Amino acid sequence: MMAGTLLLERCNPYGAETGGPRRVMAGLYGPGSAVTPGMDLPANVAQGEWRCPQQAQVRVRMTCLCGHTGRVMNLCSWHEEFSERGEMVAGVIRKIREPILVRGHMEEIQRRQSSGCVRCMYPSGNGYDFAAAHKAIEAYQNQLGYLNEMSMWRSRQAADLRQKIEDMVKSFDSGIARGLIHRCPMRLIPVS
Ligand SMILES: [Zn+2]
Ligand SMILES: [Zn+2]
Ligand SMILES: [Zn+2]
């Protein structure tokens, strides 16, 4: 779609030039982490060190079935790249440059983005905040790990933490049962 149209901006996959892929996860994991679970990205891409030399052709943003949207991204789409090969012509090897059509970041990102919408996975609303709950569980688990290392697994403190984790996991279970939490696929949708 729109192939051939060049925007003035350069292709900016994962926001490499504007803060990195942490934005992909809606900031859920905080600035200390650029993890992109389930996206199966090369390490340098996941760390946001990647640059794309292509000019952008499409303005798109991730949109889930419930209408949550991500940042607008300028991406390259299908484009021609030149491949070089040697060919024997009249007894001499001549270098042949041929254009081949390659996928752009639009197609690459769409193909990889199998993970669901973070806000549908960790919703917040009338008295619940599953993103906060998720972070709290992680924090409790870290504390529990520490107590375990200190040989305090059987302590009252550790028992309290285990209880808190159990309660939160139950709240997740009920969130899933009530349909509050769901996995929602995201698609790249063009914006103007
Ligand atoms: Zn949804
Ligand atoms: Zn690109
Ligand atoms: Zn959503």
Q: What is the pLDDT of residues 49-105, one digit of tens each?
A: 456 888 899 999 888 999 998 888 899 999 888 888 888 888 888 888 888 898 998
Separation of 68 CA from ligand 3 center, angstroms? Answer: 4
User: Per-residue pLDDT averaged across 165-175, rounded?
Assistant: 93
Separation of 40 CA from ligand 2 center, angstroms? Answer: 17
Which of 40, 66, 189 is closest to 121 using CA atoms?
66
Of residues 98 and 16, which shows the higher confidence score? 98
Separation of 15 CA from ligand 1 center, angstroms? Answer: 23
Separation of 51 CA from ligand 2 center, angstroms? Answer: 8
Separation of 76 CA from ligand 2 center, angstroms? Answer: 4
User: Per-residue pLDDT averaged across 156-162, rounded?
Assistant: 96
Separation of 186 CA from ligand 1 center, angstroms? Answer: 9
Please name the residues in contact with 31: beta carbons below 8 A apart, sequence gap of 6 or more: 22
| C-beta separation of 94 from 87 below 8 A | yes
Separation of 103 CA from ligand 3 center, angstroms? Answer: 27
Q: What is the pLDDT of residue 148?
A: 94
Q: Which residue has the tokens 């690459």?
A: 108
